[in-house]
């Protein structure tokens, strides 16, 4: 699933190429996504200019004139590509091009999603903070609200594993499975540690490494293992910088101890048994 770095990378590229462009219309080829795409999608955006593109957690917010926002979640395998005359659709199977947004310059914004777990819906800008998808999200991990004091307080008395708490979108918004493993490795905290057992100092390290890992991943345009591509069809480059994720049995890059893999909350978790306590 695309996580915060992938969605933020996508936002940055689309903001540069689409801000000021105007939607002509939308063609819905397959409406059955996580929620069915409504018939009003095309009429809601037709003739409206894209004012800005922002992000909240793993959601992309395409804001258009007239106070409307197109909320996009890529699900497990979705992609949103800006396709001009020179675009190479190589990695994208056209059978999964479910929605095409025609733009005033002749280019198209295309939503492709083999597994169809994504979401696209129109929301009034005034209602954004009250919709179910965004209402209960925690602070952004790259923002000031996500501090050592906040994380330490949020984990008090919790018996849930710290990795699962990091992935709880109500506690911090946007961190997913890949980056949670990397964050805890750099912080020296074992993913199975109960949240309530994390010390103030460790909470501080987790916040610091969260911001380091996410910023590095954004600079590398995210992580691609299988399907993720940015809006130009390019894969992310952060996979080559991963220190524990998907490295079971390989030597730790710090101490040479073999990396272990376990399952937490039905997700694979990777850690070094020597470096992480």
Task: List Cα–Cα distances, 123 to 52, 131, 226, in angstroms.
Answer: 15, 8, 31
For 184-196, give one letter per residue: b (16+ CB within 10 A) or e: bbbbebbbebebe
Measured CA to CA, the distance from residue 212 to residue 223 in angstroms comes to 15
State the catalytic residue, choosing from 3, 8, 63, 202: 3
State the catalytic residue, choosing from 21, 158, 232, 267: 267
For the beta carbon of residue 214, count every other beta carbon within 10 angstroms. 22
State the catalytic residue, choosing from 55, 58, 83, 163: 58
Q: Under a CB-based contact definition with an 8 Å cutoff, are residues 28 and 41 in contact?
A: yes
Q: Is 267 a catalytic residue?
A: yes
Q: Is 191 a catalytic residue?
A: no
The side-by-side arrangement of strands in the sheet containing 108-112 is: 23-28, 97-103, 108-112, 79-83
Q: What is the DSSP letter of 74?
A: -
Q: Is 3 a catalytic residue?
A: yes
Q: Is 153 helix (H, G, I), strand (E, B) or coil?
A: helix
State the catalytic residue, choosing from 2, 5, 139, 191: 2
Q: 219: Cβ–Cβ under 8 A, 6 or more apart, which residues?
A: none
Task: List Cα–Cα distances, 17 to 14, 20, 60, 107, 266, in angstroms.
Answer: 5, 9, 15, 11, 38
Measured CA to CA, the distance from residue 82 to residue 249 in angstroms comes to 39
Is the Cα dihedral 143, 144, 148, 149 positive or negative? negative
Q: Is 16 a catalytic residue?
A: no
- Active-site annotation, residues: 2-3, 58, 267
């Amino acid at each position: 699933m695309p996580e915060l770095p992938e969605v933020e990378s996508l936002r940055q590229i689309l903001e540069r190429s689409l801000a000021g462009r105007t939607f002509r219309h939308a063609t819905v080829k397959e409406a059955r996504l996580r929620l069915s795409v409504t018939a009003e999608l095309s009429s809601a955006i037709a003739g409206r200019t894209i004012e800005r593109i922002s992000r909240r957690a793993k959601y992309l917010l395409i804001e258009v004139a007239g106070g409307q926002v197109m909320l996009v979640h890529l699900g497990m395998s979705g992609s949103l590509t800006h396709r001009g005359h020179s675009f190479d659709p190589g990695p994208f199977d056209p059978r999964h091009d479910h929605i095409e947004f025609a733009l005033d310059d002749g280019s198209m914004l295309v939503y492709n999603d083999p597994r169809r777990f994504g979401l696209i819906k129109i929301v009034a800008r005034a209602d954004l903070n009250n919709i179910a998808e965004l209402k209960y999200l925690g602070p952004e991990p790259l923002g000031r609200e996500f501090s050592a004091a906040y994380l330490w307080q949020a984990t008090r008395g919790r018996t849930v594993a710290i990795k699962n708490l990091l992935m709880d979108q109500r506690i911090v918004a946007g961190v997913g499975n890949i980056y949670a493993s990397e964050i805890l490795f750099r912080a020296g905290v074992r993913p199975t540690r109960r949240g309530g057992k994390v010390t103030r100092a460790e909470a501080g390290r987790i916040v610091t490494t969260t911001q380091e890992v996410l910023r590095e991943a954004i600079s590398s345009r995210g992580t691609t293992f299988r399907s993720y591509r940015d809006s130009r069809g390019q894969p992310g480059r952060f996979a080559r910088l991963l220190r524990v994720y998907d490295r079971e049995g390989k030597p730790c890059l710090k101490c040479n101890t073999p990396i272990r893999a376990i399952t937490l909350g039905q997700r694979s978790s990777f850690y070094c048994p020597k470096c992480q306590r």
